[in-house]
């Protein structure tokens, strides 16, 4: 899920676009040629995926995580828009080659081993 095209995808290949509320189903996984059964399957999947969305955003934790994700994305977009073009190109090259943008490095404490003083 991204800020620009939030969507839910299930294991059978169906994808619910949360902005447009359009449900896309993988045609190769649809096993029926009957129109009524196909529409019923689409509706069932749409309601099912929508319920996940409602349950997630209806909870306090879901709202908090959504706000944190949106804040993170806006902060990144703002920061990148104010970087020099050369730095942006360097970040893009690194990201395209599979390198992470940020890396967590555990702090190195003193060389003394912990023990009694």
**In tens digits, what is the pLDDT along the chain, a chain of 117 residues?**
444 566 666 666 677 776 666 666 666 555 667 777 777 777 777 787 778 777 877 788 888 888 888 898 899 889 989 999 999 898 889 888 888 877 777 777 765 555 555
93-109 CB burial, b ≥16 within 10 A, e <16 = eeeeeeeeeeeeeeeee
Question: Which residues lie across from 16 on neighbouring strands?
Answer: 8, 23
pLDDT at 18: 66
Give the predicted TM-score (pTM) of the model.
0.45
Whole-angstrom distance, CA of residue 105 vs CA of residue 53: 35
Residue-level pLDDT at 83:
92
* pLDDT at residue 36 in the model: 77
């Amino acid at each position: 899920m991204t800020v620009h095209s939030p969507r839910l995808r299930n294991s059978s290949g169906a994808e619910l676009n949360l902005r447009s509320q359009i449900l896309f189903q993988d045609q190769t996984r649809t096993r029926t040629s009957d129109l009524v059964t196909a529409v019923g399957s689409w509706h069932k999947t749409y309601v099912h995926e929508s319920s996940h969305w409602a349950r997630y955003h209806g909870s306090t934790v879901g709202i908090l995580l959504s706000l944190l994700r949106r804040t993170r994305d806006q902060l990144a977009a703002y920061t990148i828009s104010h970087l020099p073009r050369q730095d942006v190109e360097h970040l893009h090259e690194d990201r395209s080659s599979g390198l992470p943008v940020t890396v967590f490095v555990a702090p190195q404490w003193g060389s003394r081993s912990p023990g009694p003083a």
